[in-house]
Amino acid sequence: MQHAVSAGEVTSLTMSDFDALEFRSALGRFATGVTIVTTVDAAGERYGVTANSYNSVSLDPPLVLWSLAKTSRSIAAFEDCEAFAVHILGAHQEELAKRFASSSADKFSGLDVHAGLHGVPLFEECAAHFECTLENRFEGGDHVIFLGRVEHFAHGDAAPLLFHDGKFARVEASEKKA
């Protein structure tokens, strides 16, 4: 097994810190797409977070899932929501991903969004989006897992934005054979 940090370099860390770093590093080997998940609360305040924990679950019924840290600013809004929207980001949307990976309160300012199912904010020009009603939520340690039932969806043909090893990435065009 390859360790990112050798034992000699971690003397200032506790054993559990070392395990956490190794765990994160191992988790980061898994390449994912990047999404922004949005919702709106009863007062009309809009929320959105960058998330790569998204995955498809079921075709019939159509279900998807993602998870959010309990420490995130928007956790209560997602726990109480009727609906949320998952936007699969295109390769051109790295700046948007960075904006929604921050905890600022005005992430939506200046963006072209419209209200979808239950008033949930929808972005244009994503690779795909899924409008979901909240089907269930589950305890997931320091995260909450949200299961959504897809009510509407749309997709284009944009190349996806990727995330791997803590960095954004893009699909490399495969070389054409002569």
Query: Site residues (CB under 6 A) for ligand FMN?
Result: 34, 49-53, 67-69, 72-74, 97, 101-103, 163
d(CA 137, CA 128): 23
Q: Which residue lies nearer to ligand FMN by CB, 10 or 101?
A: 101
Strand 55-58, strand 63-69: pairing: antiparallel
Q: Which residue lies nearer to ligand FMN by CB, 95 or 175?
A: 95
Maximum distance among all Cα pairs of the chain, rounded to whole angstroms: 59
**CB-CB neighbours of 106 under 10 Å:** 8
**Nearest distance from C-beta of residue 81 to ligand FMN, angstroms:** 13
**Nearest distance from C-beta of residue 15 to ligand FMN, angstroms:** 25
What are the phi and psi torsion angles at 33 (to 5°)? -80, -175
Q: Which residue lies nearer to ligand FMN by CB, 62 or 140?
A: 140
Which among 154, 133, 145, 149 is positioned nearest to 58, based on CA atoms?
Answer: 149
Q: Which residue lies nearer to ligand FMN by CB, 10 or 143?
A: 143
Q: Which residue lies nearer to ligand FMN by CB, 3 or 26?
A: 26
Strand 167-170, strand 121-123: pairing: unpaired
**Nearest distance from C-beta of residue 18 to ligand FMN, angstroms:** 23
Which among 88, 63, 66 is positioned nearest to 75, based on CA atoms?
Answer: 66
**Nearest distance from C-beta of residue 164 to ligand FMN, angstroms:** 10
**Nearest distance from C-beta of residue 11 to ligand FMN, angstroms:** 30
